[in-house]
Amino acid sequence: MNKALFYRIVIIAGVILLLWTALQMVLGIVRERSQYRDAAERGIWQSYAGPQTLSGPIIVVPYKEVLTVPGTVPPQQREETRRLLVFPKTLQVRAEMTPGERYRGIHKTIVYETASQWSGTIALPDLNSDEDMPKSAGHVRFVMGQPYVVVGVGDMRGLLAQPVLQLDGKPIALQQGTRLESLSQGLHARIDASSAAGKPVESRTVPFKLTLSVLGARSIAMAPVADHNQFTLKSAWPHPSFDGDFLPRQRTVTDDGFIAEWSVTSFNTRVRDQLAGNPGAGDVMSLQAASVTLMEPVNIYVKAERAVKYGLLFVLLTFAGLYMFELVKRLRIHPIQYLLAGMALAMFFLLLVSLSEHVPFLVAYLAASAACIGLLGFYLTFVLHSWQRGAGFAGLLTALYGALYGLLVSEDNALVLGSLLLFVMLACIMAVTRKVDWYTVGTPAESAE
C-alpha cells in the first residue's frame, strides 16, 4: 500500500471538508439575504397593498329556518340562522394592469394598478318562494331577511376609488365589509328584490356592471363565481407567470407585455362551495382563481443559491487539475496551497451575491469571476513555477465559470449540461493519467523549475 499517497488523499479530503464548510456558510448568507429581501417586500405590502384576489358580485340572502325540536311534548320550535348565496349566471371581466416598482433600501417589489370592468347577469332572489331553499329535517317555515350584494377584495387598502356597481341599470352604493365569513375583506350593499316576487328565474335575471380599480403587489387573481366566466387581462409587463388554478385558454407574451384570456365554468371549480363554507371544499382563505404573478426577470438570490450548490464541484475540479499538474509535471503542491486556492473559489460566490444586490447579475458575475480568475492565475503562476502554467490554469477556470453561467441561465437544461460537463472532465482526467503508474505516485520527486 502506498502510504504517502493515502496520507496525501486524507489531507486533501480534510481541506475539501473545510472548504465545504465555508461554502455552507456562504449558502447560509445567501438564504439570509433572501429572507431580508422577502421581509422588505412584505414591509412594502403593509404600507401599500398586497396580492389581490377579486370575486363577485354575489347576492347573499340571510334567513332563519324554523324547525321542530324532536322529542318534545308539546312540540317546541327553534330557529337556525343561515345564508343563501346566489351566484351570477354569466361574468365577463376586462382588466388592464399598469406595473411599477417600489423600493425599501436596496430591495424592490413589483406593484401594479388595475382598472377593471365587470359585467354579467344574475338572478334576483324571490323572497316569497322557498322552492330553491334547502330544507332541513323538522322544517316548519322560513323567515327571510334583507338580501345584499357582496364584492370580495383581497386587500381593501388597494382600492383606488369608490367602486361603481349597477344592478338592473340602477346604481348601488357599496359599503365596507362583506358580512360573510368566507370573504374576509370586501364591500357590500343592500338590494331591493321586491320586483322579483312571483317571477320565474328567467324573468328575474338582471344585468349588472361593476367598475373596480385596485392597487396590488406581485399577483392578482379573479375567482370564477358564475356559471360561465370570461376573464381578459392585459399588461405591459413582459414576464408573467400564470400560476393560478386555471391556465388561460389563450395568451400572448411579447417584449411589450402580455394579454391572456380565461374561460371557466362552474363545473370546473369548487369556489362556490368554498364561499358557502361547505365541508371538504378547501380553505376559504385561498379561493380557487385564475391568477397572474408579475415575475422579476432575474431573481439574484435563486441564481446565487444555485451557483453555490455547484461550489463543491468547482473545488473538486480545481483540485483535480492541480493534482494532474503534480502527477504530470512532478510538482509538489502543499495542502495549504490547495486550501488558499479553494478559499479563492469560495470567495467568488460571496462576491457574486454581494455585487448582484447593487448591479445587474451578469455584471456581478463577470466582475466576481474576473477577480477570482485573476487572483488564482497570479497565485498559481508561483505555485506551478511558470506563468504559462498559471495562465493556462486561468484559462481552464474561465471555461469552467462560463459553463457555470450557462447552467444558471439555462434552468431547463441544467441537468443535461451539468452531466456533460462532468463527463468531459472525467474523460480529460482519464486521458491525462492513462500512463500514470499509481504504485509510484507519492514517492519523493524533484521540483520542476
Q: What is the pLDDT of residue 329?
A: 67
Gap between the Cα atoms of 192 and 48, Å rounded: 36
Going 101 to 102 to 108 to 109, the CA torsion angle's sign is: negative
280-315 pLDDT tens trace: 444 445 788 999 998 877 677 877 877 787 777 777
Q: What percent of the chain has pLDDT over 90?
A: 18
CA distances from 149 to 180, 201, 223, 265 (A): 11, 18, 16, 21
235-270 pLDDT tens trace: 999 889 898 889 899 999 998 899 999 999 988 888
Segment 138-149 shows an average pLDDT of: 84
CB 180 within 8 A of CB 274: no
Segment 310-339 shows an average pLDDT of: 76
CA distances from 256 to 29, 92, 236, 240 (A): 36, 25, 6, 12
Q: Would you place residue 54 in the very low, low, confident or very high pLDDT band (cuts 50, 70, 90)? A: very high
Q: What is the pLDDT of residue 424?
A: 78
Q: What is the pLDDT of residue 119?
A: 93
Segment 154-182 shows an average pLDDT of: 87
Q: What is the pLDDT of residue 252?
A: 92
List the helix and strand counts (H, then E) for the chain: 8, 17
CB 418 within 8 A of CB 407: yes
- Say if residue 376's pLDDT is above 90: no
Q: At what angle do helices 300-309 and 311-329 cross, to 10 degrees?
A: 40
Q: What is the pLDDT of residue 412?
A: 62
| Structure-model confidence comparison of residues 86 and 356, the more confident one | 86
Pairing of the two strands 186-190 and 175-176: antiparallel
CB 64 within 8 A of CB 81: yes
Q: What is the pLDDT of residue 4?
A: 66
Least confident of 65-74, 142-151, 211-220, 415-424: 415-424
Q: Would you place residue 343 in the very low, low, confident or very high pLDDT band (cuts 50, 70, 90)? A: confident
Q: What is the mean pLDDT of the chain?
A: 82
Rg of the chain, C-alpha, whole Å: 33
Q: What is the pLDDT of residue 446?
A: 45
Q: What is the pLDDT of residue 283?
A: 43
Q: What percent of the chain has pLDDT over 70?
A: 90
Q: Which three cell numbers stand for residue 266?
A: 362552474
Q: What is the pLDDT of residue 195?
A: 80
- Say if residue 93's pLDDT is above 90: yes
Q: Would you place residue 92 in the very low, low, confident or very high pLDDT band (cuts 50, 70, 90)? A: very high
